[in-house]
Amino acid sequence: MGKLLALALLGILAALVGERLLAFRHRIGASRELKVKRLPNCHLIKGIEFGSEDIDILPNGLAFISSGLKYPGLQSFAPDKRGEILLMDLNEENPRPVELRISRGFDLASFNPHGISLYIDEDDTVYLFVVNHPQIKTTVELFKFMEDDNSLVHLKTIKHELLSSVNDIVAVGPDSFYATNDYYFTEANLKTLEMFLGLTWTNIVYYSPKEVREVAGGLYSANGINISPDGKYVYVADIMDHSIHVFEKHANLSLSRLKVFQSDTLIDNISVDPYTGDIWVGCHPNGMKLIFYDPENLPGSEVLRIQDILSEKPTVTQVYIDDGSLIQGSSSAAVYNGHLLIGTVFHRALHCVLDSSSGKGQSNVS
């Protein structure tokens, strides 16, 4: 090969790497400046120190929080502590989280909970779906919640080849759900490479005992997933694309993409106000600081409320921004009757009481 040709090829390669690097810096939000915007009535929740990855709240105000995720490439302040599911009753004067007891026979030692989702049956039985990563593999654990003694009865462990590396789930029946999944890479370094190259190799899988199938694909990094109160629309956060994909859910459970809502922050978990339908998201304003954790340069937190996502001009309110001095790496934001809970990937959790101007909406039942 001629020297000139080799040089030209080298030049093209360098340009490609440069282009990927720039695109990656943009996708990971490396250059955003933060202006702190705190809320007046917030306090850190006692007893949550090591993450509050996902939060789901029942219509009666019982909040379920998964805590203690250990994941390759993510910071953990307690690498030897097993994961747990916490319960907090938001109707109490001073709500405090308590750990839910899990029935015997379930392997608690390797419990590594990630995304969670609640489902209420016609007879008011409450099911809790938990994405679990024992030994960094993926299973989905199905529990029944026993309110009389704050415990979880383990019903079954779900594994499937299409559920190879699940992030989050939303339940659509007592034993069926949609899951966001990375169908190619389960190994941490390869996942990072996948993100760096900007490959769209994550998808959405529908699971029921009778049928498992991919229902959507082509996302950079499908993360949080949730459903509208009327069950007609499914929302999926594509964290590296700074976007939320809105899907219409058909009677045959297929999804078709209606629109992509674009923002300038890394949207992680999605929760939906059951009364107003407003979407609340926990976001990472700077993903670089989250992945390359540095105590001298902390990852910040951001909460957005999105109203009328289906309209031409959705209303987006930046509800909360912190530079990491109070809470680091917000990954979820969930509301109930004027309460806002902000969860984080590996840090603490914040409980805020909203005033009527900051999004109480019609959920303010008197």
# chain residues binding ligand NAG, by CB under 6 A: 16
The only residue of 138, 203, 331, 358 in contact with ligand NAG, by rule CB under 6 A: 331
How far apart (Å, rounded) are the C-alpha atoms in residues 290 and 284? 8
In terms of CB distance, is 208 or 254 closer to ligand NAG?
Answer: 254
In terms of CB distance, is 347 or 360 closer to ligand NAG?
Answer: 347
Helix or strand holding residue 155 (H, E): strand 151-158
In terms of CB distance, is 54 or 194 closer to ligand NAG?
Answer: 54
Letters for 263-282 (x = contact with ligand NAG by CB under 6 A, - = none) are -----xx-------------
- Cβ 8 to ligand NAG shortest distance, Å: 42
115 makes contact with ligand NAG (CB under 6 A): yes
Selection from 70, 101, 96, 109 nearest residue 85 by Cα:
101
Using the CB atoms, write b or e for 307-330: b if 16+ within 10 Å: bebeeeebebeebbbbbbebbbbb
Q: Which of residues 34-63 bind ligand NAG (CB under 6 A)?
A: 53-54
Selection from 153, 179, 178 nearest residue 85 by Cα:
153
In terms of CB distance, is 73 or 173 closer to ligand NAG?
Answer: 73
349 makes contact with ligand NAG (CB under 6 A): no
330 makes contact with ligand NAG (CB under 6 A): no
Half-sphere exposure of residue 1, counting CA atoms within 13 Å on the CB side?
A: 8
Pairing status of strand 330-336 against strand 339-344: antiparallel
Of 114, 133, 284, 351, which is the active-site residue? 114
Q: Is 250 a catalytic residue?
A: no
Pairing status of strand 202-207 against strand 212-219: antiparallel
How far apart (Å, rounded) are the C-alpha atoms in residues 294 and 75? 10
- Cβ 124 to ligand NAG shortest distance, Å: 24
Q: Which of residues 148-177 bind ligand NAG (CB under 6 A)?
A: 167-168
Place of tokens 């006692």: 46
In terms of CB distance, is 181 or 269 closer to ligand NAG?
Answer: 269
- Cβ 31 to ligand NAG shortest distance, Å: 20
Q: What is the DSSP letter of 197?
A: H
341 makes contact with ligand NAG (CB under 6 A): no
Check if the beta carbon of residue 54 is closer than 8 Å to that of residue 115: yes
Residues tagged active-site: 114
For ligand NAG, the binding residues (CB under 6 A) are 53-54, 114-115, 167-168, 223-224, 250, 252, 254, 268-269, 331-332, 345
